[in-house]
Amino acid sequence: MQSFLPHLDSLSLAAQVAQMVVVRASGHLFDHQIRYPAWEPTAKILESWITDLGVGGVILLGGSAAEVALRTQQLQDWAQVPLLIAADVEEGVGQRFAGATWFPPPMAIAAVYQHNPDLAKHYAEQMAAITAQEAQAIGLNWVLAPLVDVNNNPDNPVINVRAFGETPETVSELATAFIRGAKPYPVLTVAKHFPGHGDTTVDSHLKLPVIPHDLDRLQQIELPPFQAAISAGVDSVMSAHLQIPALDPTYPATLSYKILTQELRHKLGFEGLIVTDALVMGAIADGYGANEAAVLAVEAGADILLMPVDPEGAIEAVCSAVDAGRITPEQIRDSVERIWTAKQKACAPPLKETTSHAWESIQPIVQPKELTAQLAQPTAIALVDSILQDSLRVHTPCLSRLANQLFQGSRNLIILDDALECDVIGNSTPAVTLPASKGYQLQLIDSHTPTDALNRASLHQPPTLLQLFIRGNPFRGSAGLNQTAQGWLQFLLDSEQLQALVIYGSPYILDQFAPTLPPNVPYVFSYGQMPQAQAIALEALFSAA
C-alpha cells in the first residue's frame, strides 16, 4: 500500500468501520445554502463526521462546479485519510453542478445505437471520458455511473431514460464503452443497481419493489450487463433495493448475503467494491431499523454503506455486531483493504511526494483560474449537440400548421412538474426565449397551478405550441403519463388549438401521445431537457415553418 494510507493494524475497529461509511453533504459551502436539511448536515457536524469519526467518503449534491471544486478541497483538508468523493453524474458533471458539461440521458445514446452501434459506442466512451475529466477537475473521484439496468418496462418510474437501453445487448455494449472511456482517469466507476432495477413499476426511493421473475429470466435479461461491466473492469457495483424471491425470499438485495456475496462476489467473481444504494431510501429505511439496516448490509457483503440514516449509530452498530460475533473482524478488514485499493487509484495521483505526511501537503487538483479551461469545453459541447441531434425524433409534415399560421399572438404553453425546483427552465432558456422572439405569449403550468385551470380555459384561446417536460425522476413516484399534460393535450386537440408539440424527456410519453395527433400537427421529441436540448428541438421545429 502507498504511504498516504495508514496500515490497517494502526486502525481501531471503529476507525475501520468508519472507512466503510459514505455520508451525504451539500455541494454548497455555507449552511444557509443547504436545501435538504434532513440529509445534509451542517458544516460543524460534517467536519466532525470526517475528523472525529473518520468516515471514508462523501457524496455531494448541489452547487456550481466552481463551488464544488472548493468544497472538495475543504472536505479533503478535514480528512486524515483521503476521502472518496462521489456524485450521481450519470448525465455528466453538469447534471448536478452548474457550469460543467450536461449530457442527455443515456437512453439517447441507446437510440443512436439502433441505427449506428459503432457511433453510439463512441458517444458513450467520449461521454465517460469527459465526465471523468471534469469530475477530476473539481475534486470528485467516484463517478456513480454507469447504470447497467435494462429498462424493459416503460412504466419504470425510477430508471427510465437513465438506462443505456431496453435490451441486455445494448446496455452491455454501451455500459462497457462508458467504463472503457473512464478507465484512463483516476476516478472510480460503478455498475448499478445489482442485480437489475429495470423491470419495476415502483420507485425504491419510496417503497420496496418486487421482481417476480425466475432465475432463468434473470440470467437472460438482468445479469448479463453486470457480467459485462465486471469483465470491463468496473471498480464498484451498487446494490438495488429490490425484493427478488428467486434469489432470496427473505431479504432485499441490499441486505442479502445470497445476492451480494453468493451471487455477485462468488458466482460472478467480482473483486471490487460492493456499495449499497442510499440507505435513507424508503425501500430500506421504512422496513428496517436505521442501524440494523447497516449491520444487515455489512453481513450481506457490502463494503460501503452509502448514506446511512445515522452515520455514528451505524458505525457503533456494526462494531457491536462484530463484538457479538455476527460479523467477523476479518470481513471488516477485507472490506477496508478493498477500499484502500480503490483509494490508491482515486486518491493517489495528486500526491507530489511519498512521505507519510504527503496527503497533508497536497495542493488543489486544479486552481480556480484553470477551471474554465477544463469544464464545458467546445469539444464537449459539440459532443452533446451531436448526441441530441442524432437521437432527435422529428415529424414536420410539409403542410405544417406552422407554415400557415402567424406566430404573433400564439401561445407557448409549457407544462412541467415543478417550476420551483426546475433546473432547466428560466427566463433566459430557449424554451421561453425562442418562441418569445417569434411573438408567442408564455403560459407556464406545473403541479402548483390550480387544478381548475383547465376547466377555466377558454375555447377561444390562440393557436398553441405545447411543450412538455416529462421524464422519470426519483422520488416523484411515477414515470407514467402526466395527467395534467394529458388533459391539456386532449383539450387542445378537441378545440383544434394545438399548433405543435415538443416533448423533452421520456420517449414513452411520445409513444403514448403520437397516435392521438392529427397527421398535420408537427412534433419534435428530445431525450434532453437542458437548454441545449431545447434550442436544438425548437430550431428543428421552426425551421420547418
Query: Among all residues, which ones are annotated catalytic?
Result: 205, 277
Q: What is the number of alpha carbons within 13 Å of residue 498 lying toward its C-beta?
A: 26
SS3 of 460-477: CCCCEEEEEEECCCCCCC
Which of 319, 316, 240, 242 lies closest to 276 in space, CA to CA?
A: 240
Name the grid cell of 260: 451480494
Name the grid cell of 184: 484512463
Give me the phi and psi of 23, to 5 degrees please.
Answer: -105, 155
Instruction: Please check whether residue 267 is in contact with residue 234, taking contact to mean a CB–CB distance below 8 angstroms.
Output: no
Name the grid cell of 320: 457491536
How far is the CA of 94 from the CAs of 4, 9, 36, 531, in angstroms?
Answer: 31, 40, 20, 12
Instruction: Please check whether residue 532 is in contact with residue 504, taking contact to mean a CB–CB distance below 8 angstroms.
Output: no
> Rounded to an integer, what distance in angstroms lies between the CA atom of residue 123 and that of residue 238?
24
How far is the CA of 107 from the CAs of 447, 474, 505, 527, in angstroms?
Answer: 26, 16, 10, 7
> Rounded to an integer, what distance in angstroms lies between the CA atom of residue 120 and that of residue 127?
10
Pairing mode, strands 393-395 and 523-526:
antiparallel
> Rounded to an integer, what distance in angstroms lies between the CA atom of residue 447 and that of residue 254?
33
Map grid coordinates 467516484 to a residue: 142
Residues 6+ apart with CB under 8 A from 357: none
Residue 250: how many CB atoms within 10 A of its CB? 10
Note the Cα 85 to chain centre separation in Å: 15
Give me the phi and psi of 239, to 5 degrees please.
Answer: -75, 160
* Torsion angle (degrees, nearest 10) of CA 205, 238, 170, 506: 20
> Rounded to an integer, what distance in angstroms lies between the CA atom of residue 247 and that of residue 268?
14
DSSP codes, 261-324: IIIIIIIS---SEEEPSPTTSHHHHTTS-HHHHHHHHHHHT-SBEES-SSHHHHHHHHHHHHHT
Which of 36, 69, 15, 72 lies closest to 278 in space, CA to CA?
A: 36
Which of 466, 421, 459, 473 lies closest to 444 in space, CA to CA?
A: 466
Instruction: Please check whether residue 145 is in contact with residue 86, taking contact to mean a CB–CB distance below 8 angstroms.
Output: no
> Rounded to an integer, what distance in angstroms lies between the CA atom of residue 65 and that of residue 316?
35
Map grid coordinates 392521438 to a residue: 516
Type of residue at 399: L
The answer to whether the peptide bond before residue 195 is cis (omega within 30 degrees of 0) is: yes
